[in-house]
């Protein structure tokens, strides 16, 4: 089945979808994105993603091209047309294609470019990696200072994944001034006893939509949550570690820079939080 994608008002087969070479997303990484997961053909936390998208656009002074209801409609249409049961929807909005290259922002009336496509991932909820856990390495965080804006500047995170791969690991945690900021494409957590520790929200990290939901479920389940920075050494000595994102949900981390975390197996807290997250998200999906 040929994938149907959405580009600037049209639903097209993927090979017919085109964006200008002058698009500022292409030339300057001048754009933002969202990844929303799909379970059972329904969208997980659409409202949270739509809110963060609006904030990212507003922080960069990119015009919001449509209302949330219209965005929701496109998401649903793509899920239906591509028969997605489990997977993701990728959405990208850029400052548009002004017709030439210029550092100065284009005129107000320039239409933002809007692209959405689906990624089918059968078995997303039953991921084998969640049963074994993943290994991470640490790398310096050399990204720009506004990581709370979900921009398409993903070169360094992409390089980070390659560094992890070269080291025989699955992902990288980034470290700044001695403390972990986040994973290359996820938020980072450690567990000590009944306490979940994750870095506080600031410009230094992306405000994960999965993070917000998982912390809420953790508190509801009487777990303690501490929002503060932690070091790699503290993480290596923790009982458990895990990451969260729209594409991995809650994923246990069993090794950090070659040191085993806890028993070197996914721990009970990460396991439980993953179960709760998937169950509750399915119930609330739209
Ligand atoms: N990444 N931190 C970073 C740097 C991210 O890129 C992401 C998401 C997260 C988790 O955010 P959320 O829970 O809202 O997915 C944290 C997406 C999945 C991606 O780039 O594919």
Residues 6+ apart with CB under 8 A from 218: 196, 225, 273
- Which atom of ligand 1 is nearest to 182's Cα? 2
Same domain, 61 and 155: no
Same domain, 97 and 145: no
- Which atom of ligand 1 is nearest to 48's Cα? 14
Same domain, 168 and 237: yes
Q: Ligand 1: distance of its center to the CA of 63 in Å? A: 22
Q: Ligand 1: distance of its center to the CA of 60 in Å? A: 18
Q: Which residues are catalytic?
A: 150
Same domain, 143 and 259: yes
Domain-ending residue, one of 87, 122, 157: 122
104 Ramachandran zone, left/alpha/beta (phi>0; psi -120 to 50): beta
**Confidence category of residue 228, pLDDT binned at 50, 70, 90:** very high
Same domain, 152 and 265: yes
Structural contact between residues 88 and 247, judged by C-beta atoms closer than 8 angstroms: yes
66 Ramachandran zone, left/alpha/beta (phi>0; psi -120 to 50): beta
Residue 74's closest CA among 112, 124, 122, 36? 36
- Which atom of ligand 1 is nearest to 205's Cα? 2
Residue 244's closest CA among 283, 205, 282, 285? 205
Mutate to test the pocket of ligand 1, among 36, 208, 217 (most ligand atoms within 8 A of CB): 208
| The total number of structural domains that make up the chain | 2
Mean pLDDT score of the chain: 97
For residue 10, give the CATH number of its domain. 3.30.470.10
Mutate to test the pocket of ligand 1, among 31, 119, 185 (most ligand atoms within 8 A of CB): 185
Question: What is the rounded distance in angstroms from the CA atom of residue 229 to the CA atom of residue 179?
Answer: 6
Same domain, 50 and 150: no
Q: Ligand 1: distance of its center to the CA of 208 in Å? A: 6
Alpha helical stretches, state H, the chain: 24-28, 46-59, 68-81, 128-132, 155-166, 209-220, 232-236, 268-284
Same domain, 234 and 210: yes
Residue 1's closest CA among 115, 114, 84, 75? 84
Q: Whose CA is nearest to atom 19 of ligand 1?
A: 185
Question: What is the rounded distance in angstroms from the CA atom of residue 184 to the CA atom of residue 186?
Answer: 6
CA distances from 103 to 15, 17, 60, 63 (A): 30, 26, 14, 18
Domain-ending residue, one of 92, 122, 152: 122
Identify the residues whose C-beta falls under 6 Å from ligand 1. 35, 182, 185-187, 206, 208-211, 244-247
pLDDT on residue 118: 98
Same domain, 220 and 275: yes
For residue 62 the two structure tokens come to 């990119």
Residue 31's closest CA among 40, 43, 19? 19
Mutate to test the pocket of ligand 1, among 87, 139, 187 (most ligand atoms within 8 A of CB): 187
Residue 188's closest CA among 146, 154, 238? 238
Same domain, 105 and 246: no
Q: Ligand 1: distance of its center to the CA of 224 in Å? A: 23
Structural contact between residues 188 and 243, judged by C-beta atoms closer than 8 angstroms: yes
pLDDT digits (tens, 9 = 90+) for 233-280: 999 999 999 999 999 999 999 999 999 999 999 999 999 999 999 999
Which one-letter DSSP state was computed for residue 77? H
Q: Whose CA is nearest to atom 2 of ligand 1?
A: 186
Same domain, 133 and 248: yes
pLDDT digits (tens, 9 = 90+) for 141-153: 999 999 999 999 9
pLDDT on residue 208: 98
- Which atom of ligand 1 is nearest to 45's Cα? 14
Same domain, 72 and 25: yes
Question: What is the rounded distance in angstroms from the CA atom of residue 257 to the CA atom of residue 138?
Answer: 6
Structural domain containing residue 251: 129-284
pLDDT digits (tens, 9 = 90+) for 100-151: 999 999 999 999 999 999 999 999 999 999 999 999 999 999 999 999 999 9
Same domain, 109 and 175: no
Q: Ligand 1: distance of its center to the CA of 109 in Å? A: 30
pLDDT on residue 209: 98
């Amino acid at each position: 089945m040929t994938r149907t994608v959405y580009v600037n008002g049209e639903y097209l087969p993927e090979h017919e979808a085109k964006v200008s070479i002058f698009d500022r997303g292409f030339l300057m990484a001048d754009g933002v994105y969202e990844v929303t997961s799909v379970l059972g053909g329904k969208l997980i936390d659409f409202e949270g993603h739509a809110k963060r998208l609006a904030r990212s656009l507003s922080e960069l002074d990119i015009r919001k091209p449509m209302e949330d209801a219209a965005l929701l409609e496109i998401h649903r249409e793509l899920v239906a047309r591509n028969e997605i049961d489990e997977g993701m929807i990728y959405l990208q909005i850029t400052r548009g294609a002004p017709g030439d290259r210029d550092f100065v922002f284009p005129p107000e009336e320039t239409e933002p470019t809007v692209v959405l496509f689906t990624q089918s991932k059968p078995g997303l909820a039953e991921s084998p990696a969640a049963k074994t856990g993943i290994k991470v390495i640490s790398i310096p965080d050399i990204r720009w200072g506004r990581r709370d804006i979900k921009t398409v500047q993903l070169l360094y995170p992409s390089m980070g994944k390659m560094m992890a791969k070269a080291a025989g690991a699955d992902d990288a945690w980034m470290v700044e001034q001695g403390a972990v900021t986040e994973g290359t494409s996820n938020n980072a957590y450690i567990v000590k006893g009944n306490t979940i520790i994750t870095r506080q929200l600031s410009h230094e990290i992306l405000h994960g939509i999965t993070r917000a939901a998982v912390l809420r479920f953790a508190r509801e389940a009487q777990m303690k949550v501490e929002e503060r920075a932690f070091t790699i050494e503290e993480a290596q000595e923790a009982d458990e570690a895990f990451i969260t994102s729209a594409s991995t949900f809650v994923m246990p981390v069993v090794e950090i820079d070659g040191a085993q975390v806890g028993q070197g197996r996914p721990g009970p807290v990460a396991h439980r939080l993953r179960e709760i997250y998937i169950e509750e998200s399915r119930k609330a999906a739209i």
